[in-house]
């Protein structure tokens, strides 16, 4: 299973799911895809350490992909302050990165019960539902997160991916449009950090690229539109000739680079 652009932290995806890692010094709405070992490599948490010391060490370990060690430190901190919604959310993120989805779900639900104004925990619970292919539940959680934090591009991107998975392409386009208005680089940033909107088939991935090309063309961003048109062709999008009739591409069709791209017709990259 291939993946591209997903969702943000969290944002992750199902089936043959690779390991994920939250980037250090980034918000909880971003995570990156990596391959790493979850083996324990450090001493157990000290009973005399403060909550802040335990949390700081756990954050550092998570950034180093030492997920089991990080969980030990988060759990030790939670023994001292069990009503910290933020700590339960961080523990849930680490469980998710370790692909322990059932445990992650429980942690996010507990985080939400303790802090009902936490948009990240709502978003992250949406990720769990997305992984379980419970897209309606995922969308409800993303909507809840957006209501709490309406300026998060990643939340809209996640919701777009969920709509896309249910073939509601117009709704997906609307959500993606909000994401891009908030952050024009949201998909590029996600891609570079390994966040991916996992599509269920090569056809869906190609369609996804085409939708983004249409979105950027509509906004007058020719550079990004051409980039995603190329990706759509490389992914083997079969309805690529729609570019000549879809009104969003009207302005782009007069761009010489568009003519060159369509004449070159980049071949589809084999799976």
Which neighbouring-strand residues pair with 164?
none
Q: For the segment 137-192, what is each residue's pLDDT rounded down to a tens digit?
A: 999 999 999 999 999 999 999 999 999 989 898 899 999 999 989 998 887 765 43
Q: For the segment 188-211, what is each residue's pLDDT rounded down to a tens digit?
A: 765 433 334 455 677 888 898 999
The runs of H, that is alpha helices, within 166-201 are 169-182, 186-193
Domain 1-149: CATH superfamily is Tetratricopeptide repeat domain (1.25.40.10)
Q: Please give the model's pTM, rounded to 2 decimal places.
A: 0.74
**d(Cα 42, Cα 64) in Å, to the nearest integer?**
12
User: What percentage of residues in the chain have a pLDDT greater than 90?
Assistant: 61
User: What is the dihedral angle through the alpha carbons of 134, 137, 140, 144, rounded to the nearest 10 degrees?
Assistant: -110
- pLDDT grade, residue 269 (50/70/90)? low
- Whether the pLDDT of residue 216 is over 50: the answer is yes
- What is the mean pLDDT of the segment spanning 92-100? 93
How confident is the model at residue 12, as a pLDDT?
39
CB 200 within 8 A of CB 40: no
The pair of three-digit structure tokens given for residue 139, joined into one six-digit string: 């969308």
Listed residue (8, 44, 41, 29) closest to 120, CA to CA = 29
CB 252 within 8 A of CB 222: yes
């Amino acid at each position: 299973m291939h993946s591209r652009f997903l969702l943000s932290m969290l944002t992750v995806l199902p089936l043959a799911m690779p390991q994920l890692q939250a980037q250090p010094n980034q918000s909880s709405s971003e995570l990156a895809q990596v391959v790493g070992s979850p083996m324990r490599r450090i001493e157990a948490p000290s009973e005399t350490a403060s909550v802040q010391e335990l949390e700081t060490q756990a954050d550092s370990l998570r950034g180093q992909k030492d997920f089991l060690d990080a969980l030990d430190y988060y759990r030790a901190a939670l023994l001292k302050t069990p009503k910290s919604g933020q700590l339960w959310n961080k523990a849930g993120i680490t469980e998710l990165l370790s692909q322990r989805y059932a445990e992650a779900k429980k942690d996010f639900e507990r985080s939400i019960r303790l802090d009902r104004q936490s948009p990240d925990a709502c978003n992250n619970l949406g990720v769990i539902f997305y992984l379980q292919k419970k897209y309606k539940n995922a969308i409800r959680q993303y909507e809840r997160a957006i209501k709490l934090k309406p300026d998060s591009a990643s939340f809209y991107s996640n919701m777009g991916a969920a709509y896309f998975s249910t073939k509601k392409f117009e709704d997906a386009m609307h959500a993606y449009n909000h994401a891009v208005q908030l952050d024009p680089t949201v998909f590029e940033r996600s891609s570079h950090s390994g966040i991916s909107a996992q599509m269920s088939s090569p056809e869906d991935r190609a369609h996804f690229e085409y939708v983004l090309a249409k979105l950027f063309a509509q906004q007058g961003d020719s550079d990004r539109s051409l980039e995603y048109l190329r990706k759509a062709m490389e992914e083997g999008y079969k309805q690529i000739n729609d570019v000549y009739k879809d009104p969003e591409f009207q302005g782009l069709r007069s761009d010489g680079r568009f003519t060159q791209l369509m004449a070159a017709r980049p071949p589809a990259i084999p799976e």
